[in-house]
Amino acid sequence: MSQGKLFTPAKAGAIELRNRVVMAPLTRNRARAEDDAPFDIHVEYYRQRAGAGLIITEASQISPQGKGYAWTPGIYSKAQIEGWKKVTDAVHAEGGKIVIQLWHVGRISHPVLQPGGADPVAPSAIAAQSKTFDGSQFVETPTPRALEIAEIPGIVEDYRKAAENAKKAGFDGIEVHAANGYLIDQFLRDGSNKREDAYGGSIENRARFLKEVMDAVVGVWGGERVGIRLSPFSNANDIADSNPQETFSHVIRLLNGYKLAYLHLVEGQTGGPRDIPEGGDLAALYALFDGARMGNNGFDRESAIEAVESGRIDFVAFGRPFISNPDLVLRLEQDAQLNALDPDTLYGGGLKGYTDYPTLAESAVAAE
């Protein structure tokens, strides 16, 4: 089988990619502590990885309320916009393309991470059996406060402003984070959404918040520069739905109306097994979508080449391999050995385990 198609140019909506290898969004908890802004180390980290057809940044909160972990970046302040502008300039100087993933964690937070020590918010006051990192230790996520219906338009407006800020920061587009048990996903699933108003009950109602967010951000960018990430069969952060196939079939049909750049699906459990539960059909969900399809979760070189060559998906998003291999595309193309990942430096810290992984060329020099 030819290995070529994965390494050929393609388009995701209006975004032209030099290859079909995507750097997945990867939380690394290294934003500047005083203002959650990216700074010089982020510039070098993303610049090193600009060989990807597309970089999707680490999830970035749309507001202080949207924060769920220590030292994650935002996209709601002037300092954050300026920090991200240096990143996008560096990636573009290397010929790369980069979009920012917009994030509100909902209930996956803790009062110590919230403005004024407030309770995290969610569709319903149901605690997730999950944990977050508060800057010193892992802590249980508490019972959130159910959002008042009058608050929801303000969060939608935060998404719109974040989309505007992403333009100011020079991104090529945005990705809406609607996966992995965070706020949008919490609204979509009947296990976490027990509302009895216009945002709960039927799938049409549970998808209302997503629709309003998409209306807002597509109004800023146009659909051709907006992607979305979903995780239909993942139970990340204690998320659950009684019929995910039905729920996400409805969601994808809804999304088709926006003519998006791409649909990004987590295949199976986030960062875990790729198994699909009984009654689930990943191929059927992909088939419902009218645009470009991106797969993620546990791909290696062989499975990525096969998935794109067969036409099952158009792009493959790699996560952890991009952490330890800044030149991952070249290594995949040449079938070269990959650097081992240091798990102790994944979250928090500084340059170690962040910008010091060697390229093939650097490894060759060191071996001489």
Catalytic residues: 182
* Of the candidates 164, 179, 170, the residue with the CA atom closest to the CA atom of residue 218: 164
Beta bridge partners of 55: 23, 98
> What's the rounded Cα separation, in Å, for the pair 356 and 368?
19
Secondary structure of 229-263 as H, E, C letters = EECCCCCHHHCCCCCHHHHHHHHHHHHHCCCCCEE
CB 129 within 8 A of CB 238: yes
Strand positions, DSSP E, 67-197? 98-103, 121-122, 131-133, 138-140, 145-146, 173-177
* Residue 98, beta-bridge partner list: 55
Do residues 1 and 306 touch, judged by C-beta distance below 8 A?
A: yes
DSSP state of 74: B
* Backbone dihedral angles phi then psi of residue 228, each to the nearest 5 degrees: -145, 145
- Judge contact between 208 and 156, C-beta under 8 A: no
Kindly state the helix (H) or strand (E) to which residue 316 belongs, with its residue range: strand 315-318
Whole-angstrom distance, CA of residue 98 vs CA of residue 345: 24
**Partners of 121 in the beta sheet?**
145
User: b vs e for 45-71, b when ≥16 Cβ sit within 10 Å of the residue's Cβ?
Assistant: bbbbbbbbbbbbbbbbbbbbbbbbbbb
Strand partners, 226: 174
**Amino acid (one-letter) located at 231:** S
- Judge residue 132's burial from the number of C-beta atoms within 10 Å of its C-beta, 0-12 exposed, 13-18 middle, 19 or more buried: buried
For residue 334, report the phi and psi dihedrals to the nearest 5 degrees: -90, 0
Report whether 103 contacts 175 (CB < 8 A).
no
